[in-house]
């Protein structure tokens, strides 16, 4: 475990020493504060559109951070040749994959925490009663979703040599799932065979990332799912992440790496 943790800490250091996170945070803050400064009918109580915009930006930013940070892990290690001194140590390839996952997931989680603190601060400016429990659940579910995103992107980083190819494919796949994932069953009903079966198979096999999107509840001050449901969703995320990491390890463990 200490070896996995050692690999993870390097990934976390990489995130906060690169400038991407800061740029995305400033971007989110600027856009949110810009939205907040707009005067709508001189009503200072209007806040939901700001919450909506801020959460949307947080979703986009954290997805970009998670995907870009993860996608470059294995390809950059190969390109910079840092993989060789690393694998020359008593560390297995499975531990490298696990460490990379843990580092990317924790790094994304840290970024998520900073973004949510900003969100709560902005919301607190206009909403007298903050829904702490709802924010906590929303952040937790978001983080669980990022585990699947990191797992998927890490698998991509083992498959694709170029970082840009991996980032593009992962972004398309992840946004595709987020937009149409939960509607695939309804789309399938309207299709003829064999498209129908294929669409149904996709519906049941794809990781439903959109499940973890509870922004509507947070924005509109509606009750969030209970902790039991959140726990079940976490198990769902853990199962998918496990499968994705196992696939990444299967591909990486026998891969030839010539100096």
Partner 1 sequence: MNEILQVENLRVEYPGGRLRQPAKIALHGLNLQVTQGEVFGFLGPNGAGKTTTMNVLLGFIPPTSGSAALFGIDVRQPIARQRIGYLPELTYYYKFLTAEELLRFYAKLFGLSRAETDLRIKKLMALVELEHAASRPIKSYSKGMRQRVGLAQALINNPDLLILDEPTSGLDPLGRMKVREIIQRLKDEGKTVFFSSHEMGEVETVCDHVAILHQGELKAAGVVADLVTQYRADNLEQVFLKIVGYQPQEVA
Partner 2 sequence: MKAVSPKLQFLFWLALAYTLGTVTYSRAVGRGTVTAADEGAFKKLLGDGRRLFAGQFVEMADVYFHSGMYPSIFDRANQPATKAVTAAVNEHDAHADEEHEHEEHEDEHAAAMTPVAENWLEAFIHRFRITKHSHLTGGNEREMLPWLKLAIELDPQSIETYTTAAYWLRKDLGRTAEAEAVLREGLRNNPTNYELLFEMGKLYKENKHDHERARNLWLAALKCWENQDDKAREDTALALSRIASNLGELEEEDGHYPQAIQHLELAKQVSPNPKAIQAWIERIRAKRGQQ
- Chain contacts with partner 1 (rule: CB under 8 A): 2-3, 5-7, 9-10, 13-14, 17-18, 80-82, 84-92, 95, 254, 256-259
Q: Which is nearer to partner 1, 7 or 174 (CB)?
A: 7
- Residue 82 contact among partner 1, partner 2, none, beta carbon within 5 to 8 Å by kind: partner 1
- Please state the closest distance from residue 6 (CB atom) to partner 1, in A: 4
113 near partner 2, judged by CB under 8 A: no
**CB count, 10 Å around CB of 93?**
18
Shortest separation between residue 66's beta carbon and partner 1, angstroms: 19
Among 13, 81, 89, 186, binds partner 2 (CB under 8 A): 186
**Distance from the first to the final alpha carbon of the chain:** 28
Query: What is the nearest approach in angstroms of partner 1 to the Cβ of residue 65?
Result: 16
Interaction residues for partner 2, span 50-69 (CB under 8 A): 52
Residue from 82, 92, 161, 222 in contact with partner 2 (CB under 8 A): 222
Q: Please state, in angstroms and rounded to a whole number, the distance separating the CA atoms of residues 231 and 103.
A: 22
Contacting positions for partner 2 (CB under 8 A) = 18-20, 23-24, 26-27, 30-31, 33-35, 37-43, 45-49, 52, 141, 182-183, 185-187, 189, 203-204, 208, 210-214, 216-217, 219-222, 225, 229, 232-233
């Amino acid at each position: 475990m200490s070896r996995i943790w050692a690999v993870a800490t390097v990934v976390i250091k990489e995130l906060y020493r690169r400038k991407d996170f800061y740029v995305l945070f400033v971007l989110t803050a600027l856009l949110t504060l810009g939205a907040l400064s707009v005067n709508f009918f001189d009503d200072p109580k209007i806040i939901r559109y700001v919450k909506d915009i801020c959460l949307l930006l947080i979703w986009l930013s954290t997805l970009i951070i998670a995907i870009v940070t993860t996608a470059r892990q294995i390809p950059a290690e190969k390109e910079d040749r840092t993989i060789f001194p690393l694998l020359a140590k008593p560390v297995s390839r499975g531990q490298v994959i696990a460490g990379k996952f843990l580092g990317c997931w924790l790094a994304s989680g840290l970024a998520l925490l900073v973004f949510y603190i900003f969100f709560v601060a902005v919301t607190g400016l206009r909403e007298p009663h903050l829904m702490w429990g709802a924010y906590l659940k929303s952040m937790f579910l978001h983080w669980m979703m990022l585990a699947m995103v990191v797992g998927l992107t890490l698998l991509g980083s083992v498959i694709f040599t170029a970082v840009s190819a991996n980032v593009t494919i992962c972004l398309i796949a992840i946004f595709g799932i987020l937009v149409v994932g939960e509607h695939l069953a309804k789309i399938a009903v309207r299709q003829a065979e064999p498209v129908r079966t294929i669409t149904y198979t996709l519906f049941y096999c794809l990781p439903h990332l959109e499940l973890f999107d509870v922004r509507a509840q947070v924005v509109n001050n509606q009750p969030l799912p209970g902790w039991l449901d959140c726990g079940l969703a976490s198990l769902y995320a853990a199962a998918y992440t496990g499968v994705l990491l196992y696939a990444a390890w299967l591909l990486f463990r026998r891969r030839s790496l010539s100096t």
